[in-house]
Amino acid sequence: MACKMRKQVFFLWWFGMAAQLCFLLGVSAKKTSFRRNIREINSSLIHFPFTVNTRHHKQVVIDNGIVSVKLANPKGYVIGISYSGIDNLLDTKLKENNRGYVDVVWNKTGKEANTFQRFHYMAISDTRQRNMPTTKDRSTGKTLAYPEAVRITRPSNPRFMGEVDDKYQYSTENQDNTLHGWITKDSKATVGIWTITPSNEFRNCGPIKQDLTSHLGPTFLNMFMSTHYAGKNVAMSFGQGETYKKVFGPFYTYLNSASSDAQFRSLWSDAVQQRSKEVQSWPYVFPQSKDFIPPNQRGTVAGCFEIQDRFVAIEGSQPAVNAYIGLALPGDAGSWQEESKGYQFWTRTDENGHFAITNIVPGKYNLYGWVHGFIGDYKYEAIITITPGCAITLDSLVYIPPRNGPTLWEIGIPDRSAAEFYIPYPQPRLRNNLYKNDDKEKFRQYGLWARYSDLYPLNDLVYTVGVSDYRKDWFFAHVSRSIGNTYQPTTWQIIFELQNNTLRGGDYTLQLALASASGAEVQVRLNDPGAYSPLFTTGLIGDDNAIARHGNHGLYWFYTINIPSSHLVKGTNTIYLRQARAASPFVGVMYDYIRLESPAPLCASLCM
């Protein structure tokens, strides 16, 4: 029997220097600090007539008889949401400024409150859904390597015994961060509350940047921008006289209800359908602000993206299939991944390399891209100026990825992540049961950095080309080794053979792509691990904390390293990759892809 739904919705349209919208459902999260006044709030209940009540001089109440939203005046805090017979879905035991709010995080203060939780079931995606522990379970647990991670030791429900609760375990890439929320099975009603973000154009650092979603509290966040999985250098900073303007949102807060507790999961399916409607309706036409650009004032850029690698396909270029291509503020190739001030508009190419980027806010942009299976970043050199209503068609765009010669060997897949490498299971006492049988999401388990020391207690990783399998033999993160209460640098080896027919004069090339770096330094030596000066060093790089925050990637780093043939010998050669920093267990890098190229054949160089 189909579930009968009662549903009603409201928009909250926030703009200004807002970092996130946070709803606290039933109990506070350990958060908050510096608050910013909201300059303007435009709330609109749709589908049904509504009233706005301002009789209480410190509150504004928007009500249509089904959903009632109470806002603090003039601060703009969301202090109450009434729906389906429940007086307030938010935690009434907390202060008004600590229930639902726009918050610029400055520092962390306050204590977690141990109050009754109405919401227990969290849903982030079709597969990432679960009943959650309570805040009391957290407060009585054991804090682990950082405050956000707690091992539950005295649970209210035995099924949570020994689990780790950590909000970073529920992070999602911007491109997928469109819907998440909570469901309550209550004696009064079975209710879902969701945040739907139909466009990520206003989020920072591009489509694959990761950020927080819902987590224990119960809390759900709408993150507009943050430094998570990227580092402090992506935070907005402005020089004297420098100005930017960007609208954060609108986004959609959606409530629905089911006729029985047994059908509570159908609320997720209903929210998914509503998300599709909102995506199709973007950009919205109802906002009255001159700063929100309506659809008829936006532009379009279309074209065909191709790739040309003479050592992969000799005859010209090939379609760049399922490639990422997008517009961001003008900058260097790849600069979009550290850009927070402007809008970004991204799409994927089809099987023929065709693309169309739609609903672009007028302004000046560079066009950027990258292709799965190929290294490096593409940039279209000309500035693209979007004017109201324009439709720009570009000529065929050809990306020539970095390449100096044919491939001798390679490790990994150039996809900007460490997902293909060996990701261990967590220690049994540090698991999150949501990912217990999920190999795809296994990297989200707590403490995987420490498993390197378990697997390599005395000697470091050795990878033999032609024998080893990177899916089993290449640890996903190059981290330090734990020795008691201290940490020491680690050196990985890549052993490979060069015979007479492959050892040639000229420069060889090592292409080194990193998927993440956190306070790390990778030094490259060849055939002499004790050489005082490395052949190459990255220097100190990275602040993305992806290792500690359960990511399989942070920011992308790419290096082309020349290796004179005089450094190589006929027979066995060894490349030593030393991660020379060891300040903490979270210091290290994730490799994306490594390739050794031989010098290009003379005819290939002359014929191109």
Whether residues 266 and 300 share a domain: the answer is: no
| Residue ranges of the chain with per-residue pLDDT less than 50 | 1-48, 103-116, 605-608
Domain of 363 in residue numbering reads as 295-399
The C-alpha atoms of residue 39 and residue 76 are separated, in whole angstroms, by 9
The C-alpha atoms of residue 53 and residue 481 are separated, in whole angstroms, by 62
DSSP label at residue 276: H
The C-alpha atoms of residue 169 and residue 272 are separated, in whole angstroms, by 22
Q: Are 104 and 125 in contact (CB under 8 A)?
A: no
78 in a structural domain: no
Whether residues 165 and 220 share a domain: the answer is: yes
109 in a structural domain: no
Task: Give the position of tokens 């520092």.
Answer: 107
| Residue that is last in its domain, among 370, 399, 428 | 399
269 in a structural domain: yes
How high is the pLDDT of residue 265? 85
Whether residues 480 and 359 share a domain: the answer is: no
Preceding peptide of 74 cis, ω within 30°: yes
350 in a structural domain: yes
Amino acid at 233: N
How high is the pLDDT of residue 49? 60
527 in a structural domain: yes
Of 72, 127, 62, which is closest to residue 101 (Cα–Cα)?
72
How far apart, in Å, are the Cα atoms of 508 and each of 418, 446, 498? 25, 39, 12
38 in a structural domain: no
How high is the pLDDT of residue 347? 98
Instruction: Count the domains in the chain.
Output: 3
Whether residues 394 and 437 share a domain: the answer is: no
The C-alpha atoms of residue 212 and residue 104 are separated, in whole angstroms, by 15
The C-alpha atoms of residue 426 and residue 122 are separated, in whole angstroms, by 22
Enclosing H/E stretch for 453: helix 451-455
577: domain CATH number? 2.60.120.260
Whether residues 438 and 513 share a domain: the answer is: yes
How high is the pLDDT of residue 112? 40
Whether residues 440 and 541 share a domain: the answer is: yes
Secondary structure of residue 9 in the 3-state scheme: strand
- Using the CB atoms, write b or e for 478-500: b if 16+ within 10 Å: bbbbbeeeebebbbbebebebee
299: domain CATH number? 2.60.40.1120
150 in a structural domain: no
Whether residues 315 and 385 share a domain: the answer is: yes
How high is the pLDDT of residue 50? 66
| Residue that is last in its domain, among 367, 399, 431 | 399
Whether residues 413 and 510 share a domain: the answer is: yes
146 in a structural domain: no
Residue 188 CB-density burial (10 A; 0-12 exposed, 13-18 middle, 19+ buried): exposed
The C-alpha atoms of residue 517 and residue 539 are separated, in whole angstroms, by 11
Whether residues 453 and 560 share a domain: the answer is: yes
Amino acid at 220: F
Amino acid at 258: A
Whether residues 190 and 226 share a domain: the answer is: yes
The C-alpha atoms of residue 239 and residue 230 are separated, in whole angstroms, by 21
What are the contacts of 207-210 at 24+ separation with CB within 8 A? 207/173, 207/174, 207/175, 207/324, 207/326, 207/344, 207/346, 208/173, 208/174, 208/175, 208/324, 208/416, 208/553, 209/173, 209/174, 209/337, 210/171, 210/172, 210/173, 210/174, 210/546, 210/549, 210/551, 210/553
Q: What is the pLDDT of residues 354-367, one digit of tens each?
A: 999 999 999 999 99
